[in-house]
Amino acid sequence: MLPIRKLALAVAAVAACLTPAAAQDYPSHAVRIIVPFGAGGPADVYARFIGQHLQETFKQSFVVENRPGAGSVTGTNEAAKSPPDGYTLLMMSNTHTVNETLNTTKSFVLMRDFVPVAPINYSDLVMVVHPTVEAKDLKEFIALLKAKPGALNYASSGAGTPYHMAGELFKAMSETNIVHVPHRGSGEARTNTIGGHVQMMFDAVTTMAENVKAGQVRALGTSGTVRSAVLPDVPTIAEAGLPGYDATIWLGVMAPAGTPKPIVDKLNAEINKALSNADTKAAWAKQGAAPIIMTPAEFDKYLRSDIEKWAKVIQTAGIKAQ
């Protein structure tokens, strides 16, 4: 039998010969969207939105499969090994561009083993603490951390995720010591923060805003350069005490390397159509998310730039995977 790598290359070579005319028949059966994160988080929510739109457009099933673990590596590995025929897609995020530098043990290389299809959206993060934490604002929280170095914890959905990197960026800029507690997914991290098992978390505004409004957690700041329309009374972290702080979470779709360009272009066009819809923009704005519309080539450039950006941050700040 051919080795797996050679077999994959052979399949890719055959797929590359697919003509635009043949791509018109795509998809002829169910497509799976691998989400390498837990259910209930932004990647899962927006993968289901995109999957529903594509399903209605193409009249074929687009099935979301959650494969969380190892900070997105488990599910991404599975996607990388899948046939490059357009029937396996990967819902990815800036976790993946971060992990190109942070995770040196993973078996895949993002820009070698995948091709960009389309970005989806971006949103700010919100820094929250459990109500029992004796700090009413960011400056008081920083003072508390400096008074009790290493005594408090913050949750994330795993190494390299936007929640982890936002926490490490906060630590570096505030010169404090708060212990990282990685979880299997953002839902688990969120539950443990709301339950008071972990004191702090950075989470997407799109998923944590309602918990803030319900008083289950206290928001100390949002991570963008301007206040979030969803939480207008919450200052940005930059204005609350850390000038220059800026972190977001963004999502996108990729496919295994070798996926025929006509199929990639077809998916890109339909995804962009969904993102351009006025109702979609309005609904997402209420959630704190904004669409990102690009061609595959533009998304490729964006990904490479983000990899370089985070490589510099990780190396300069000395951020570790644990």
155, HSE (Cβ side, Cα atoms, 13 Å):
26
Q: Counting Cβ atoms within 10 Å, is residue 23 exposed (0-12), middle (13-18) or buried (19+)?
A: middle
Q: What is the DSSP string of 117-159?
A: EEEEEEEEEEEEE-TTSS-SSHHHHHHHHHHSTTS-EEEESST
pLDDT of residue 318: 81
Q: What is the pLDDT of residues 25-40, one digit of tens each?
A: 999 999 999 999 989 8
Q: How much of the chain is helix, strand and coil, in % rounded to 5? A: 45, 20, 35
Q: What is the pLDDT of residues 171-189, one digit of tens each?
A: 999 999 999 999 988 899 9
- The H-or-E segment that residue 53 falls in is helix 42-58
- The answer to whether the CB of 296 falls within 8 A of the CB of 116 is yes
Q: Which of 22-31, 219-228, 241-250, 268-277 is the least confident region?
A: 22-31
Residues β-bridged to residue 179: 153
- The answer to whether the CB of 140 falls within 8 A of the CB of 78 is no
Q: Counting Cβ atoms within 10 Å, is residue 216 exposed (0-12), middle (13-18) or buried (19+)?
A: middle
Work out the percent of the chain whose per-residue pLDDT is above 70.
93
Q: How far apart are CA 116 and CA 257, in angstroms?
A: 9
Amino acid identity, position 46 = Y
- Tokens 């920083």 sit on residue: 142
Q: Is the pTM of this model over 0.75?
A: yes
List of domains in the chain: 4-122+250-317 (3.40.190.150), 124-240 (3.40.190.10)
